[in-house]
Structure 1
Amino acid sequence: MAASLHHRSSFLIARSAFPALPSASNTEYRRKACLALAYSKALDRVNVLGGNGDEGHTGCVNALAWARDGEFLISGGDDTTVRLWKLDTCHSTSEYPFTSRCVIHTGHTANIFSAQMLPHSWKIATAAGDNEVRVFDVRSALSTTTSFDREVSLSARQSCLRVIRCHSDRVKRVITEESQDAFLTVSEDGTVRQHDLRTPHNCSGSSPCADPLVDLGLELCTLSLSPLTPYQFVVAGDGPYAYLFDRRHSRRTLEARWGSIPGAGQDLTTCVRKFGRTNDAPPREPFRRDHVTAVRMASSNSHEVLVSFSGDAVYLFSTTDDPEIEESMSRKSSASDLHAKVNSLTAKTDINASKVTESHENVVSYDEEEDEEDDDEDAKEDTIQPDVPLVKPRMRFKGARNVATIKDVNFLGPNDEWVTSGSDDGNFFIWNKSSGALHGIYEGDSSVVNMVEGHPTLPLIAVSGIDYTVKLFAPARLPSRFSKMDDADSIIETNQIMRRTRVVSLGSLRAMLGDSAIQVAPGVDIENIRVGVPDCTNQ
């Protein structure tokens, strides 16, 4: 009897020392553990999609998204087509044999910046530089009854369900929600809009566009929400901050309480936090204004936010962090205090600009008049959502160069253990989220990497940029051929130097040569002068 009690006591002690697995099934727990372990290893390129004549894009690839739990990879770009790639193990013995199964000729007249498949459906929403959002139905081409022996080509006439023209400027991102009919878009017209395909709408006078969820009054280019808190989203663009909005805090006015309809442009959500850098962040270059290129909310938790600043680095924030007390206390609602704050900020900006000029006078020259205009714009930007508390970052991930194009930022791993971003040097970087340490540098493009998307269930990463192809990376079984970690120090040093250099596109060079007396030497082909980045980076 005593022995039996002793064994039972030992069992209870052991059980308390090794708690039970999480509520998810043991199989799911092991899958996530294996996936996390796989991402901790070095990666290598396992496939290149496209570049084979008929099967592939003929322009830069700006949009990447995994669909239907990773069964399909969606890509879109400057050639105004959308392609759907499917893992085809029946016709290939390679490890990751993705092939193009459908190409949609969208009818867009400008670059496609974003393409997403709406959940629980075969609908694909696209956003482009022609100010339009289009929705396509690809069920006929990708249903399980269709043969996958050949690529199916769909025209806009065959597949387009809706053309949405609510935005007045280029549309940069489509963000899906847990719905096959509702989704969000963000545009350079400064608005975030929600669209519902169940509601008839033709953007005309007989069916006017609904008020936007957000109208910030500055160019916006990026938007993200967490699937765990879909009522919150982060938006950013041409300014020094990213803004957290909450749809549970709808604005109320006296007119609304008395039954009046809210005026056009009135926000239907409330900005509850701003995310900005610390005072010890690298100084802004004289010729470059503060700009956020990408934001990303974590999918494994409801509070972490990545913000990528142009010309700087990637920063990690949390929506649960307390804002700075002095920041919130300094924000007054009176017009006089706000005006004084603007004047103070303008003066400080002028002083900082002069200091930066002295410290970088040998790096690049710039137009003083243009810089004064930027200072005025900075003061104006600081008046946007002035009463909203400012949250400071938890971590900074540095090394990549984000100057030439609008680069995305992302989490990797089943629990978002890693942070990744493309770079102007043709590489993509991976950092450990907890420590901020650089984990890997990989060659992903011949020029610039813009998009990095991790597969939802496999240790597989899709990468795209200026090249007309999509590269796939997975854990390496042999020494990685595309790892650049051996040259990490020189790559980071070069990126640091190039970050301070003004990037001139080929189109800008043509304009400068056309407007000046500069003569090009006979026999010199302007198309082959590598001044900055190709024209297709017009993002």
Structure 2
Amino acid sequence: MSSDASKETTEERAVMSDTPAGDSGGAAATPEPARSEAGSDRDSDDATRARRGSGEPAAPGDADSSRAEADEPPTSPPADGSPSEPMEAAGSEGARESTPPVGDGETASNEDDDDDIGLGFEARLSSSSPDSDSEMEYDEAALSAALADMKKKAEDVMQKPRPRHTWSLVRELHKRQLGGRPALLQQDRFRLHLCSSLHAVERLELMDKLCFHEGCVNCLHFNSSGDLLASGSDDLNVVVWDWQRQRKAYSYNSGHKSNIFESKFVPQRSDTHIVSTSRDGQVRLAEISPAGECRSVRRLAQHRGSGRKLALPAHSPQTVLSCGEDAVVFNIDLRDRQPDRLLECMDNGKRIPTNSIACHPDNDNVFLLACIDKYVRVYDRRMIGSEQSAYRRLCPHRLLDDGRGRYSVTCAVFSYNGAEIVASYNDDDVYLFDAAHSDGADCVHQYSGHRNSATIKGVNFYGPRSEYIVSGSDCGNIFFWDKNTEAIVQCMPGDEKGVVNCLEPHPHMPVLATSGLDDDVKLWIASRDQPQDLSWVQETVQRNLQERVEETPSADSLGGSLMWTLMQQVFGAQRRARHQLFSNELDLQSSDESDDADDGPTPGDCRTS
């Protein structure tokens, strides 16, 4: 025992002094620069070997133990500056100092970073304990299983049965020519059947881009006749488009101080009044002359947080409902100077901020809120303030016990007759509810394949009788699902910067207006000669599902929740900085070009940021 210990001590001194070593007889150790206090090093080495022989755990300060636990090839050079050579990770009696093999007859070089990565991985494999080997095998198996699961889900989404084609041009023309009682009904039936047909959805293609805004377009709204389209943007302007002529009708400064999130025509006002809300929390009303000049803009209400969305009851043209991040819903009568505080969204004594609001198309007393939690709340304003519950909560049951992420409803709307509700959840799918179901009811349909994470996505019905579901996606595509079969029937690239947020179907024609992170408004019309080939959609769906799993923070993880909040703050800061950049550029242009008042971009031309 004494001769072996003396032999090992002599070898380790030789390594420290950069002289070739003999038999190592143990695990490899990282060479260190030689020290002047040789006696101190020798005592430390003897004490370390004594503990190893007795089975006592190594002290935290021992150099040999820390190097053995590092599981990495040595990288520190000797004291004289000559390059060091890594020793074998696992040796035996007579093993010499050499570079560990990476493959058959191949050696790794410390000067190549890629080889160092491979060297470290091979060293970890060769020196790992049985427990670490089993963990690595488990991780690889879990990764392979997750990828296989994503592929299987994508295949299941794409294999859902597609609806049958039920529309025939010859048959519909024949019915229209024969007429009926009354003849106007036959004309209307022809239009309804065309707009609701799978034929029209499959042939949607980009018609035109409406360019004038200098920021992200956050909201779209057709007037009741469908000949005008209003859009609001981060540039604080509201633009009204004559979309059929593909030009701007007029625009005005909204008076808001931050990003516009909603702008809508007030019904039964001859399209001369537009109400809007924005990040500054204000709800403002603009009065427009028939010639397109803004006569006045006044404030109707003020939220304490960001204003989100507006709702206009179908049979109450003087009423506007607004919701915001302060969880308050205002009932605004345009004839009054002060709004009424209708309710504050609460759950177990806690305020629940809201993302969107929508009114029932036939009953002005019923409206819904898409809240920043897992529930869609359906209210009856006649019950507000009474002892009975004023609302019903709807949520997919699969999300109630799911702790993978912080789910919230980004948008929810009624169908054309109010019988159904479609809701989009962040980092999850789109769900369809029966509006007549009781409190706590489950969804009746689930639509998968898109990605809802980066922004607050909208969702909508498409078709005169709400035959389809349409939503934007973080991948930049627009997804159409058949409402009954849940199959993807159309998918179109809808945004060059990668995110589609707003989708506004035309009230009477097979036309769709969309917007996102791009500065323009895109119009889609059913004019394609043949249906689009959707063979590429499965790969997109699989990628969206995989990114959802990889990026969704765990609700049980403080780090994940904190990162989620930080990302939301960073995204908002980027948008505000972009708006400030636009404002500075406009101020600079106005100061440098004050001689020419008509020097701005003409309607229909894109302004560069």
Q: TM-score by structure 2 length?
A: 0.58
Return the offset for 1:29.
Answer: 2.0
2:284 is the counterpart of 1:166: no
Partners of 1:123 and 1:180 within 8 A in 2: no
Partners of 1:241 and 1:275 within 8 A in 2: yes
Partners of 2:381 and 2:390 within 8 A in 1: no
Residues 478 and 295 of structure 1: CA distance in aligned 2, closer, same or farther (over 3 Å): same
Give per-residue Cα distances to partners, 1:81-133, cap 9 Å, x unaligned: 0000014xxxxxxxx43211111111111000000011011210001000101
Q: Which amino acid aligns with 2:459?
A: V
Q: SS where residue 485 of structure 1 aligns?
A: coil
2:343 is the counterpart of 1:195: no
Partner of 1:26: 186
2:274 is the counterpart of 1:140: no
**In structure 1, how many angstroms separate the alpha carbons of the residues matched to 2:395 and 2:441?**
6
2:403 is the counterpart of 1:292: no
Partner of 2:373: 239
Tell me, which stretches of 5 or more residues in structure 1 are unaligned? 1-19, 51-55, 88-95, 143-151, 202-208, 254-268, 324-388, 505-510, 516-530
Q: SS where residue 29 of structure 1 aligns?
A: helix
Q: CA RMSD in A?
A: 2.9
Return the offset for 1:71.
Answer: 1.2
- Aligned counterpart for 1:276 among listed residues 367, 392, 395: 395
Return the offset for 1:537.
Answer: 9.3
Return the offset for 1:193.
Answer: 1.1
**What pairs with 1:72-471 in structure 2 (closer than 5 Å)?**
72-87=228-243, 96-121=244-269, 122-142=272-292, 154=294, 158-160=295-297, 162-177=298-313, 178-201=315-338, 210-216=340-346, 217-252=351-386, 270-279=389-398, 283-285=402-404, 288-299=405-416, 301-321=417-437, 323=438, 389-446=439-496, 447-471=498-522
In the alignment of these two chains, the number of paired residues is 377
Residues 280 and 468 of structure 1: CA distance in aligned 2, closer, same or farther (over 3 Å): closer
Residues 236 and 107 of structure 1: CA distance in aligned 2, closer, same or farther (over 3 Å): same
2:161 is the counterpart of 1:45: no
Return the offset for 1:440.
Answer: 0.8
Partners of 1:277 and 1:392 within 8 A in 2: yes
Residues 440 and 129 of structure 1: CA distance in aligned 2, closer, same or farther (over 3 Å): same
Give per-residue Cα distances to partners, 1:289-338, cap 9 Å, x unaligned: 12110001012x222000111000100001223x4xxxxxxxxxxxxxxx
Partners of 1:193 and 1:214 within 8 A in 2: no
**In structure 2, how many angstroms separate the alpha carbons of the residues matched to 1:532 and 1:171?**
17
Q: Which amino acid aligns with 2:253?
A: H
2:574 is the counterpart of 1:535: yes
**In structure 1, how many angstroms separate the alpha carbons of the residues matched to 2:483 and 2:341?**
38
**In structure 1, how many angstroms separate the alpha carbons of the residues matched to 2:184 and 2:440?**
36
Residues 437 and 499 of structure 1: CA distance in aligned 2, closer, same or farther (over 3 Å): same
Residues 297 and 21 of structure 1: CA distance in aligned 2, closer, same or farther (over 3 Å): farther
**In structure 2, how many angstroms separate the alpha carbons of the residues matched to 1:533 and 1:126?**
20
Return the offset for 1:184.
Answer: 0.5
Partner of 2:177: none
Partners of 2:503 and 2:515 within 8 A in 1: yes
Tell me, which stretches of 5 or more residues in structure 2 are unaligned? 1-179, 554-561, 580-609
Q: Which amino acid aligns with 1:169?
A: G
Q: TM-score by structure 1 length?
A: 0.65
Return the offset for 1:69.
Answer: 1.6
Between structures 1 and 2, the one with greater helix share? 2
Give per-residue Cα distances to partners, 1:444-473, cap 9 Å, x unaligned: 101100001110011100010000001111
Residues 282 and 70 of structure 1: CA distance in aligned 2, closer, same or farther (over 3 Å): farther
Return the offset for 1:408.
Answer: 0.6
**In structure 1, how many angstroms separate the alpha carbons of the residues matched to 2:575 and 2:385?**
41
Residues 503 and 436 of structure 1: CA distance in aligned 2, closer, same or farther (over 3 Å): closer
**In structure 2, how many angstroms separate the alpha carbons of the residues matched to 1:189 and 1:40?**
39
Give per-residue Cα distances to partners, 1:137-181, cap 9 Å, x unaligned: 113334xxxxxxxxx6x4xxx431x20233211111011123332
Partners of 2:202 and 2:489 within 8 A in 1: no
Residues 243 and 24 of structure 1: CA distance in aligned 2, closer, same or farther (over 3 Å): farther
**In structure 2, how many angstroms separate the alpha carbons of the residues matched to 1:182 and 1:280?**
35
Partners of 2:504 and 2:512 within 8 A in 1: yes
Q: SS where residue 410 of structure 1 aligns?
A: strand
Give per-residue Cα distances to partners, 1:1-38, cap 9 Å, x unaligned: xxxxxxxxxxxxxxxxxxx9899822222221122125
- Aligned counterpart for 1:493 among listed residues 518, 527, 542: 542
**In structure 2, how many angstroms separate the alpha carbons of the residues matched to 1:182 and 1:24?**
33
Partner of 2:556: none
**In structure 2, how many angstroms separate the alpha carbons of the residues matched to 1:537 and 1:493?**
33
**In structure 2, how many angstroms separate the alpha carbons of the residues matched to 1:439 and 1:533?**
34
Q: SS where residue 251 of structure 1 aligns?
A: coil
Give per-residue Cα distances to partners, 1:205-262, cap 9 Å, x unaligned: xxxx533234331111111122112211110221111101012324336xxxxxxxxx
Q: SS where residue 340 of structure 2 aligns?
A: coil
**In structure 2, how many angstroms separate the alpha carbons of the residues matched to 1:428 and 1:86?**
23
**In structure 2, how many angstroms separate the alpha carbons of the residues matched to 1:23 and 1:395?**
37
**In structure 2, how many angstroms separate the alpha carbons of the residues matched to 1:134 and 1:244?**
26
**In structure 2, how many angstroms separate the alpha carbons of the residues matched to 1:419 and 1:224?**
16
Residues 284 and 465 of structure 1: CA distance in aligned 2, closer, same or farther (over 3 Å): farther
Q: SS where residue 196 of structure 2 aligns?
A: helix
Q: SS where residue 494 of structure 1 aligns?
A: helix
- Aligned counterpart for 2:527 among listed residues 476, 500, 510: 476
Q: Which amino acid aligns with 2:322?
A: T
Residues 501 and 390 of structure 1: CA distance in aligned 2, closer, same or farther (over 3 Å): same
Partners of 1:246 and 1:270 within 8 A in 2: no
Q: Which amino acid aligns with 2:289?
A: R
Residues 118 and 407 of structure 1: CA distance in aligned 2, closer, same or farther (over 3 Å): same
Return the offset for 1:485.
Answer: 2.0
Residues 65 and 215 of structure 1: CA distance in aligned 2, closer, same or farther (over 3 Å): same
Q: SS where residue 490 of structure 1 aligns?
A: helix
Q: SS where residue 449 of structure 2 aligns?
A: coil
Residues 404 and 231 of structure 1: CA distance in aligned 2, closer, same or farther (over 3 Å): same
Give per-residue Cα distances to partners, 1:377-427, cap 9 Å, x unaligned: xxxxxxxxxxxx201100001111000100111000010000000000111
**In structure 2, how many angstroms separate the alpha carbons of the residues matched to 1:49 and 1:484?**
26
Give per-residue Cα distances to partners, 1:259-287, cap 9 Å, x unaligned: xxxxxxxxxx95331110123789453xx
Partners of 1:174 and 1:185 within 8 A in 2: yes
**In structure 1, how many angstroms separate the alpha carbons of the residues matched to 2:183 and 2:329?**
37
**In structure 1, how many angstroms separate the alpha carbons of the residues matched to 2:477 and 2:573?**
17
Partners of 1:61 and 1:470 within 8 A in 2: yes
